[in-house]
Amino acid sequence: MPNETAPLDRSLPVTAPVRLAVVGAGPVGLTLALFAARLWPAAEVTLFDARPAGQDVSRDPRTLALSLGSVQLLQRLDVWPAEQAQAITQVHVSQAPPTLTGLPIKPELIINALDEAVPQLGAVLRYGQVVAPLQRAWEAECAAAPARCRFRLGTPVSALKPLPDKRVEIDAGIAEVFDLAVVAEGGVFSDQARKSLAHDYEQTAWVGNVQLDNSAAPGMAFERFTRHGPVALLPLKAEPGDAPSRRRAALVWCVPRDDDPVAPLNDHQRMTVLATLLPAAAGTLREVGPLKSFALGLNAERTLVDGRQVRIGNAAQTLHPVAGQGLNLGLRDAFTLVQALRDAKSLDSALRRVEWSRAPDRWSMIAATDFLARSFTWKLPGLAAARGLGIAALQALPPVKSALARQMMFGRR
């Protein structure tokens, strides 16, 4: 008779119970835990997070941009807050003047959901509006199956240690042993320990909310490339009391850190400067709310998998916000990992499959955002004109534009 206290041989098919630890109860960690509980019957899932159990996550005002693929993943989990989300139906990308002056082409690219035969390109909503329904769904799973699903709020994980039998020891006040540990606890670039691939862009992102007149098409997002860096406007859902002639948008304004043109300005001065940077299609800027700043950089692991430890989301790759794809990459990481674990013959084969299958999506997005972010620090003559020509070329080539739109919605497949 086999020794029932001996560690399970994980070279065998993944049919016996597998103890899975998920570190981080943000949107990526919660999504992973829910998919594991619902799609992988062998999983016994314990979700750790440092935040207090009584904290109201629904009040977190940070803005998130989700691609259509991410919206569909949350819809599949039945946690999509459709009434609170603002759909993105058009994306307007342009290069600020002086660019291509005197030429009969415009340095602008417009991607329309109708042209791609989809209801929306993505959606915008607050962090709390995403995390709160995910957390409620996970708490319901824990209540329905307490032997399989556990929620350890107020329990920071201080260390993960690989054991000789391939399992992972987690130090969360007391030592616990798991067959597999997934770290989904990201944070921002300035607070992170540096990973294998790290680069400080020496840029600052100023973020907050603005109000504009209501002349732009509903659901239109803007990205404007300026000499200092990209400026993005993401459409927000109207709030009670908003004037019908106004619309809200989330602002991401990227500038050099050492020569920051935003920091010394008051709100009125910031509005005046910002109004000169935005395209006419965005409408007239009416108000700029308080802005917060954070440092920008690339911080990525070369591999997602290290033994029986896996990093996903911002724990695996923290990117420049120029393409708004960080969270979307993390949600795809989570879903792909659970699919591989559910279908594989062993944990080892599943993790090898995840590493290879996620590489094209991860590295294409890392390379694209890194190239764009670095390009704003280059002092090369004609660089802005070259970027403008590239934008105009995409607009003039519908098949290429559609391929780009599909990658932004669903990742590289």
CATH of the domain at 47: 3.50.50.60
Q: Are 350 and 344 in contact (CB under 8 A)?
A: yes
- Whole-number Å distance between alpha carbons of 188 and 287: 27
- Does 354 reside within a domain? yes
The strand pair at 175-178 and 168-171 is best described as antiparallel
> What is the pLDDT of the chain when averaged over all its residues?
91
Residues whose CB is less than 8 angstroms from the CB of residue 35 and which lie 6 or more positions away in sequence, other chains included: 77, 334, 335, 338
Torsion angles phi and psi, residue 297, rounded to 5: -170, 170
Output the pLDDT for position 15: 61
Residues whose CB is less than 8 angstroms from the CB of residue 205 and which lie 6 or more positions away in sequence, other chains included: 252, 253, 254, 293, 294, 295, 296, 321
34-55 residues labelled b (16+ CB within 10 A) or e (exposed): bbbbeebebbbbbbbbbeeeee
Looking at residue 135, the DSSP 8-state letter turns out to be H
Chain position carrying tokens 């058009």: 90
Output the pLDDT for position 214: 85
- Does 201 reside within a domain? no
pLDDT band at residue 166 under the 50/70/90 scheme: very high
Looking at residue 58, the DSSP 8-state letter turns out to be G
Torsion angles phi and psi, residue 5, rounded to 5: -95, -5
Instruction: Look at residues 168, 225, 229 and name the one whose alpha carbon lies nearest to residue 22.
Output: 168
| Residues found in the chain | 413
- Does 57 reside within a domain? yes
- Whole-number Å distance between alpha carbons of 413 and 403: 11
Q: Identify whether 81 is preceded by a cis peptide bond (ω within 30 of 0).
A: no
Q: Is the pLDDT assigned to residue 356 strictly greater than 50?
A: yes
- Does 343 reside within a domain? yes
Q: Is the pLDDT assigned to residue 20 strictly greater than 60?
A: yes
Give the whole-number percent of the chain exceeding pLDDT 90: 79
Higher pLDDT, 1 or 91: 91
Output the pLDDT for position 103: 66
- Whole-number Å distance between alpha carbons of 76 and 103: 47
- Does 364 reside within a domain? yes
- Whole-number Å distance between alpha carbons of 18 and 223: 45
Chain position carrying tokens 């990525």: 300
Instruction: Name the CA radius of gyration of the chain, rounded.
Output: 23
- Whole-number Å distance between alpha carbons of 147 and 155: 19
- Does 386 reside within a domain? no
Q: Are 37 and 45 in contact (CB under 8 A)?
A: yes
- Does 181 reside within a domain? yes
- Alpha helix positions (H), 291-382: 326-343, 347-375
Split into its structural domains, the chain has a count of: 1
Torsion angles phi and psi, residue 88, rounded to 5: -100, 115
- Does 95 reside within a domain? no
- 237-283 residue pLDDT tens: 988 888 888 999 999 999 999 999 999 999 999 999 999 999 999 99
- 135-164 residue pLDDT tens: 999 999 999 999 999 999 999 999 999 999
Q: Which two tokens stand for residue 258?
A: 């050492």
Side chain identity, residue 225: F
Could you count the other beta carbons within 10 Å of the beta carbon of residue 56?
8
Domain that holds residue 56: 18-61+128-195+298-373
Chain position carrying tokens 């934008």: 391
Q: Are 177 and 6 in contact (CB under 8 A)?
A: no
pLDDT band at residue 6 under the 50/70/90 scheme: very low
User: CA of 25: how far to CAs of 33, 137, 154, 182, 234, in Å?
Assistant: 9, 12, 11, 11, 25
H or E stretch including 72?
helix 68-76
Q: Which two tokens stand for residue 413?
A: 């497949």
Output the pLDDT for position 217: 81
